């Protein structure tokens, strides 16, 4: 198993540009989520999905879109990047987060710089 | 609303010394609690988790944590720190009403040789 993979590892954008951060997992996990990590603020949940076709907002959803057309993939879209979105983005998954015992597995992260 | 507080932003200990990282949570029901570690430039790795039962939980890498309901705390401990333990540590609580994992702001551990 590759686990949770994220691409790209690093990206520089100009204000107003759009891009998609990719996240994939090969563990047949139902639950997937996106976090952003900023200094002194820990990880904050952006969006999450409890299964294909089902997504919901986390703590900081503004400026981000998600969709979940397959179990494996959960892309995060920035429609019009802003400097405030400069951050490190982590994708995570677990088999079924309705069972609290399930551990979340984290990807290696994508470092995004918006100029 | 659920929340997690890690009051120490940085902690420095000498190699071989004991360690305690503090975590306080706010949650109405029985909490599901986690500790994660993040090495520089890496993702997060689960150290241990608590759901029920014995309030002293053993994790990987020699870490343990104790759940104290009366103090709303879930402090992480290690009896003897190794240089490789230098990392950032995150406490988290799971909200089973909203399927969200809520993180504290993290504590960065520095280890003196």
Q: Which of B75, B78, B39, B61 is nearest to A106 (CA)?
A: B39
**Whole-number pLDDT of residue B29:** 74
**Whole-number pLDDT of residue A25:** 96
**Whole-number pLDDT of residue A99:** 61
- Tokens describing residue B39: 């090495």
Report the gap between the CA of A100 and the closest CA in chain B (Å): 7
Report the gap between the CA of A106 and the closest CA in chain B (Å): 6
- Residues 51-70 (A) with a CB less than 8 A from some CB of B: 56, 58-59
**Whole-number pLDDT of residue A2:** 74
- Option in B43, B51, B105 nearest A90 (CB): B43
- Option in A41, A98, A106 nearest B99 (CB): A98
- Cross-chain residue pair A45–B32, CB shorter than 8 Å: no
Nearest residue on chain A to B48, alpha-carbon basis? A103
Dihedrals phi, psi of A79, to nearest 5 degrees: -80, -35
**Whole-number pLDDT of residue B3:** 87
**Whole-number pLDDT of residue B94:** 85
Contact B79, B13 (CB under 8 A): no
List, for chain A, all residue ranges whose pLDDT scores fall below the cut of 50: none
Mean pLDDT per 10-residue interval, chain B, length 113 residues = 90 97 86 91 89 90 95 96 96 80 93 94
Report the gap between the CA of B35 and the closest CA in chain A (Å): 11
Distance between CA atoms of residues B62 and B77, nearest Å: 9
- Cross-chain residue pair B99–A41, CB shorter than 8 Å: no
- Tokens describing residue B45: 């790795």
Report the gap between the CA of B69 and the closest CA in chain A (Å): 18
């Amino acid at each position: 198993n590759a686990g949770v993979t994220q691409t790209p590892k690093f990206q520089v954008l100009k204000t107003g540009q759009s891009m998609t951060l990719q996240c994939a997992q090969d563990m047949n996990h139902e639950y997937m989520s996106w976090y952003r990590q900023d200094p002194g603020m820990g990880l904050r949940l952006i969006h999450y999905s409890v299964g294909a076709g089902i997504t919901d907002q986390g703590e900081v959803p503004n400026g981000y879109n998600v969709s979940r057309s397959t179990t494996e993939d959960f892309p995060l879209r920035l429609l019009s990047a802003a400097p405030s979105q400069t951050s490190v983005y982590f994708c995570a998954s677990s088999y079924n987060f309705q069972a609290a015992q399930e551990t979340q597995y984290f990807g290696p992260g994508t470092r995004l710089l918006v100029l | 609303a659920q929340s997690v507080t890690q009051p120490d932003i940085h902690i420095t200990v000498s190699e071989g010394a004991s360690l305690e990282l503090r975590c306080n949570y706010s949650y109405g029901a029985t909490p599901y609690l986690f500790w994660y570690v993040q090495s520089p430039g890496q993702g997060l790795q689960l150290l241990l988790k608590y759901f029920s039962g014995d309030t002293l939980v053993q994790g990987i890498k020699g870490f343990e944590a104790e759940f104290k309901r009366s103090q709303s705390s879930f402090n992480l401990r290690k009896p003897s720190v190794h240089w490789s333990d230098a990392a950032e540590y995150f406490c988290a609580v799971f909200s089973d009403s909203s399927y969200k994992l809520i993180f504290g702001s993290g504590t960065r551990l520095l280890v003196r040789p």
